[in-house]
Amino acid sequence: MTYILNRLLSVILTLFLITIVTFGVTNILPGDVAMMIMGTQSNPEALEGLRQSLGLNDPLIVQYGRWIGGMLTGDWGTSLIFKQPIAELLLQKAAASAVIVVMSMTIALALAVPLGVWAAVHRDKWQDTTSSTTALLGVSLPDFFWGIVMILVFARWLGWFPSSGFVDPAEDFLGTLRHAFLPSLALGLGLMAHLTRMTRSTMTGILNQEFIRVARAKGLSERTVIWRYALANAIGPVITIAGLQIGYLFGSIIVMEFLFSYTGMGWLTYQALLNRDLPLIQATVFVVAAVVMLTNLAVDLLYVAIDPRIRLG
């Protein structure tokens, strides 16, 4: 219980630090909100007036306080480029990205678990080498390279999936899945390598354990032993590792959504950075960091639930 309490406290502290880093870093970005608003009509006096009225001349600490106050009271401001309330934008785009996150994780696990099990069962044989090489290939090329290949093969040549875009799930859920598939596949290939390796090493450990020997001695078929008994025990740690990959995934999503014109969080973050839309950058970066951190927390707690031996951070 103390562990969980401690963990929660440190989460609040980390969230606070995340806001400071987000605010600090975005404030040293070149470019200036007032200028982005006025664009090419900027002239020194008008800019100064606008800066004054936006409170950009206040001390940073005051601006930070105002920003945090707004975030806490649900007033996330308005995007400078899109002229839309940021909270609404984020909600809409986060939902789009969630589809990709879930789908790419599913694809990665669906590929990595069998490959990893196969390698563990045939340890140090050709199957092992094949499995690890296959997994490595996925991560040996930048994921946007896979993305381009996917567009060519599955959209252009085979015509099985749309090449780009996003469809509102409320309108056409199947359409959303079809649009999300290719970027998810490309991301899944990148995620696969690490998961395969984890599955292999976890499975190797379990296959050497007493209860497996007992199960084998009982005369259970090899298939049952591996897929029912061993895998059931290995899947927990593997899913944990998958959860920890979420940060890496969010980085890759930026490039992938840009390539596929899939308008989710990654796309929004990139647009915000590209256009120096400061309020939007701050909100997206904060949300991404917070989600990554909370996922890691959930994984940790899950781990404690699975493995009661861990009591200390």
Partner 1 sequence: MRRFLTTKGIIGLTLLTIIALIAILGPLILSPDAATAMDMTARRSPPSWKHPLGTDQLGRDLLFRVILGARTSLEIAVSAVLMSIVLGLPLGLISGYFGGRTDNILMRLVDTLLAFPALLLALTISAVLGPNVQNTIIAIGIAFTPFLARIIRGEALRVAQMPYVEAARASGTTDVMIMVRHVLPNILPAVIVQGTISLAFAILAEAGLSFLGLGTQPPAASWGLMIQASRDQLDIAPWTALVPGLAVALTVLALNMVGDVLRDILDPRSK
Partner 2 sequence: MKRRDFLRTSTAILGSGIFMGGLPTALFAQDTPVSGGTLIWGHSETTQNLDMHQTGTASSGRVLQNIHSSIVTVDANLKVIPGLAESFEVAPDGLTYTFKLRPNVKFHNGAVMTSADVKYSFERCKDPATGAVNFEVFNNVAAIETPDDLTVVIKMSAVNAPFLSRLAENGAGVIMPVDSGPTQGTNPMGAGPFKFVSYEVGTVVKMARHDDYWDGPAFLDAVEAREITEPTTRLTGLRTGELHMINDIPLDRVGEIEADAGLQVKKWFPLNFDFINMNHTYEPFKDKRVRVAFDMIIDKEALMQGALWGQGATTPSPSFPTDAAFNTDLVQRPQDIEGAKAMLAEAGYPEGSLNIVFKATTNYPYHIETAQILVEWFKAAGVNLTIEQLTWADWLSQCWVDKDYQMTMMNFFTLWESDFLYYSVWNSKGAFNYRGISDPIIDELTEKARITVDDAARADVYKAVQKQIFDEAHDVLLWFRNGTIGAQPSVMGLDTVVHPNGSNLNFHKVWLKA
| Member of 90, 203, 238, 255 binding partner 1 (CB under 8 A) | 255
The residue written with tokens 């989460």 in the block is 11
Q: How many residues bind partner 1 (CB under 8 A)?
A: 46
- 165 Rama sector, left if φ>0, alpha if ψ -120 to 50, beta otherwise: left
Least distance CB 264 / partner 2 (angstroms): 9
Binding of residue 259 to partner 2 (CB under 8 A): yes
Using CB under 8 A, which of the segments 128-136, 152-160, 214-222, 295-303 binds partner 2? 152-160
Binding of residue 142 to partner 1 (CB under 8 A): yes
- Give the closest residue to 63 by CA, choosing from 20, 104, 103, 94: 20
What is the number of residues in the chain?
313
The DSSP call for residue 74 is T
Binding of residue 165 to partner 2 (CB under 8 A): yes
Are the C-beta atoms of residues 197 and 111 closer than 8 Å to each other? Answer: no
Whole-number Å distance between alpha carbons of 139 and 147: 13
User: Residue 181 binds which one of partner 1, partner 2, none, with CB within 5 to 8 A depending on kind?
Assistant: none
E strands present in 145-239: none
Whole-number Å distance between alpha carbons of 24 and 27: 5
Whole-number Å distance between alpha carbons of 150 and 183: 8
Least distance CB 219 / partner 1 (angstroms): 31
User: Residue 306 binds which one of partner 1, partner 2, none, with CB within 5 to 8 A depending on kind?
Assistant: none
Cβ closer to partner 1: 9 or 232?
9
Binding of residue 166 to partner 2 (CB under 8 A): yes
The DSSP call for residue 159 is -
Q: Please give the single-letter amino acid code of residue 72.
A: L
Q: Token pair for residue 116? A: 């990893």
Binding of residue 81 to partner 2 (CB under 8 A): yes
Least distance CB 42 / partner 2 (angstroms): 5
- 90 Rama sector, left if φ>0, alpha if ψ -120 to 50, beta otherwise: alpha
**Residues lying near partner 1 in the complex (CB under 8 A):** 10, 13-14, 17-18, 21, 25-26, 28-30, 129, 132, 136-137, 139-142, 144-145, 148-149, 152, 156, 193, 201, 247-252, 254-255, 258, 269-270, 273, 285, 288-290, 292-293, 296
**Residues lying near partner 2 in the complex (CB under 8 A):** 30-32, 35-36, 38-42, 81-84, 89, 92-93, 148, 151-152, 155-156, 159, 162-166, 168, 258-261, 263, 267-268, 271, 274-276
